[in-house]
Every structure is written in C-alpha cells, then in structure tokens.
C-alpha cells in the first residue's frame, strides 16, 4: 500500500488543478458530557453549529499518498499517515479496492488544535474530494459511515449546518436554525489535546454522579427562532472547567470578550479557542478589536453561522447526497 509522504508546507499555487472541497469549522453551542464509558469514550449531547471559517482540501492524482499544507500554523499539521485527511483517503480506497494514490493539499484557515474540528474538517473534505477524483460514487450513508470510523466530529464536518450529535458525537440529527448568528473566535497560543481535556474532566468529576447528557430544549428553541439573546442564555460546555483547569489564562480571554459587549462567551469544544456570541456584524468587529487590544489572545476571527458542510467546488462530481450545501 502506498505510504504517506511527509512534505514541507507548499504554497497553494504549487498545487496542480484537481478537485477542491471547502469545509467549515464548528462551534459547540452545547456540549453535555456523560461519564466515561468502558471503551474510554463519553456519551455526549453535542449541539454542533458550523461557522464560516474554512479549510480547503485539493486532491490531485499522484504516484503515492502525499500530504502537504499551507496557511496559518501549517507547521503544526502532521503530514504523515496520522493526518485525518490521509486516513480518509486510505479508508475510501480500501473500501473500493484501489490504491490511495493521491496528493492532498490542505489550505489551512481553521485554527489548529483549537477545539474547532479543523482536523476532522480536513478528513471530511478529503473524503469528498477523493470520492469525486476517483469516481467511486459512494453514497452519503457510506461517506458518513467512514466519517464515523475516522472520528467523532468528522460526520458533522461533512454535513454542516446545525445538528445534535449523540453517542460519542457521531450520531447526527439535523437541527432547524431560524436565522444567522454572529461570532468572534479568540485564537490562543498553542493548542490543547482533546484527550487531555477529557482526562481532566474525568479527574474533576471523579466520584461525582455525572448525569446522562441531554440536549437543552431552550437552546434548541433559540436556534429555531434565530434569537441570539435566547441562545446566549442557553450556551453551555461541559468541558469548559477542564479546559480552564489546564489553561487558566483562558479565563482572562473570556472576561475580555464579555466586557467588550459579547452576549455570551464559552470555550469552543475542548479549547483553547474561545467563542463569543455577539448581536451583529458591528458588535463582532468591536469585540474582536477589544480582544486583540487586551493581549489575551493571538488572533480574533469573525464568522457567521450556520455554514454549509464539505462542498465540492463547481465542476466536481460529488457523492450522491452531497450538494452545494453539503447536505441532501
């Protein structure tokens, strides 16, 4: 079988024309976490919302599986067989009995190791790109099954929009969203390991009665109505205390955004990116500027949700059920 070949980051212009797929970041507007299961995972009630920060993955024919990357923090992206984009290509090729001979170039814009599912997004995008490049004709259900094998967040990166993830997050139920929500994301220096954050959650809850995770009716109603104020009052993240325990400085970032006028603030997923829900575009610019002035983050990014899932560029032949909006 072809091996993944680690290469240094290359400019996007160096990538030959191929199938390009754009895929969004996510924010967890609710992340309810159950106790650790015997398999080490946790049952979740994970309300995903895709946001308008995107990676792009381009697939072109090659003699063997190669991964390259460009963009912010590209040096932190693994360029070997552990990369989820590489794993996605191998999984699809194995299912259809072909060699995973493809060059996957990742144009990175989603924060790396930031709790916004950047690696999962790349896995979903690579799957859609390779399906189009190789003409495998995989169904949407087949792609979602491969996504679930790759990781808990990968199926949502394929679907986009808004969804409730149960199980370990991979079992998705679409959620209706009645309007647009404006966000500011404060990018921290360095990353946080998701397994480490869950490990800290287990330590902090040891001996406690951890309730079964369930989706908040108030939060689901706020999404349906498109009411930012109501959503602000319903946001929650069961991993936030664990992330703050491992990275106490995030409390200063949360405070800076709140003082600048954010409707609500929370750690995004396992962190260390922090998310600020704001009223509108003008408020987003104000909060982003205040966060940068506070010196508590490396970068402040503005985005709107919901956003479409993994979407093949015009002219590419995507899998059945994967349309211009990423859903059937």
Q: Which residue has 């015997």 as its token pair?
A: 38
Catalytic residue among 26, 73, 108, 122: 26
Q: Can you read off the two tokens belonging to residue 177?
A: 């969203």
Which of these is catalytic: 43, 55, 131, 153? Answer: 153
State the Cα torsion 281-282-287-292 to the nearest 10°: 90
Phi, psi (degrees; rounded to nearest 5) at 93: -65, -45
Cis peptide before 272 (omega within 30 of 0): yes
Cα–Cα distance, 49 to 28 (Å, whole number): 6
H/E/C letters for each residue in the chain? CCCCEECCCCCHHHCCCCEEEEEEEEEEEEEEEEEECCCCCEEEEEEEEEEEEEEEEEEEECCCCEEEEECCCHHHCCCCCCCHHHHHHHHHHHHHCCCCCEEEEEECCCCCCCCCCHHHHHHHHHHHHHHHHHCCCCCHHHHHHHHHHHCCCHHHHHHECEEEEECCCCEEEECCCCCCEEEEEEECCCCCCHHHHHHHHHHHCCCCCCCCCCCCHHHHHHHHHCCHHHHHHHCEECCHHHHHHHCCCHHHHHHHHHHCCCCEEEECCCCCCEEEEECCHHHHHHHHHHHHHHCCCCEEEEEEECCECCEECCCCCCCCCCCCCCCC
318: nearest Cα among 128, 146, 154: 128
Question: Is residue 26 flagged as an active site residue?
Answer: yes
Residues assigned a catalytic role = 26, 153
């Amino acid at each position: 079988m072809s091996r993944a070949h680690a290469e240094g980051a290359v400019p996007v212009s160096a990538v030959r024309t191929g199938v390009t797929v754009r895929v969004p970041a996510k924010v967890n507007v609710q992340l309810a976490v159950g106790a650790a299961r015997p398999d080490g995972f946790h049952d979740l009630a994970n309300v995903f919302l895709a946001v308008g920060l995107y990676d792009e993955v381009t697939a072109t024919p090659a003699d063997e599986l190669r991964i390259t990357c460009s963009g912010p923090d590209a040096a932190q992206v693994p360029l070997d067989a552990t990369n989820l984009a590489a794993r996605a290509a191998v999984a699809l090729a194995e299912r259809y009995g072909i060699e995973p001979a493809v060059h996957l170039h990742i144009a990175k814009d989603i924060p790396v190791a930031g709790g916004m599912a950047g690696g999962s997004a790349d896995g979903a995008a690579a799957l859609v790109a390779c399906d189009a490049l190789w003409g495998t004709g995989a169904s949407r259900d087949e792609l979602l099954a491969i996504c679930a094998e790759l990781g808990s967040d990968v199926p949502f990166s394929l679907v986009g929009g808004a969804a409730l993830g149960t199980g370990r997050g991979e079992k998705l139920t679409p959620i209706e969203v009645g309007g647009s929500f404006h966000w500011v994301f404060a990018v921290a220096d360095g990353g946080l390991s998701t397994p480490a954050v869950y490990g800290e959650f287990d330590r902090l809850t040891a001996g406690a009665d951890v309730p079964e995770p369930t989706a908040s009716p108030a939060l689901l109603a706020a999404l349906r109505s498109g009411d930012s104020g109501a959503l602000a009052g319903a946001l929650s993240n069961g991993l936030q205390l664990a992330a703050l325990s491992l990275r106490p400085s995030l409390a200063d970032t949360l405070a800076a955004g709140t003082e600048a006028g954010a409707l609500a603030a929370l750690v995004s997923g396992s962190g260390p990116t922090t998310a600020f829900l704001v009223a509108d575009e003008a408020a987003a610019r104000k909060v982003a500027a205040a966060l940068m002035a506070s010196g508590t983050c490396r970068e402040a990014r503005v985005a709107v949700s919901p956003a479409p899932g993994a979407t093949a560029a015009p002219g590419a032949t995507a899998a059945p059920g994967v349309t211009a909006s990423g859903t059937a």
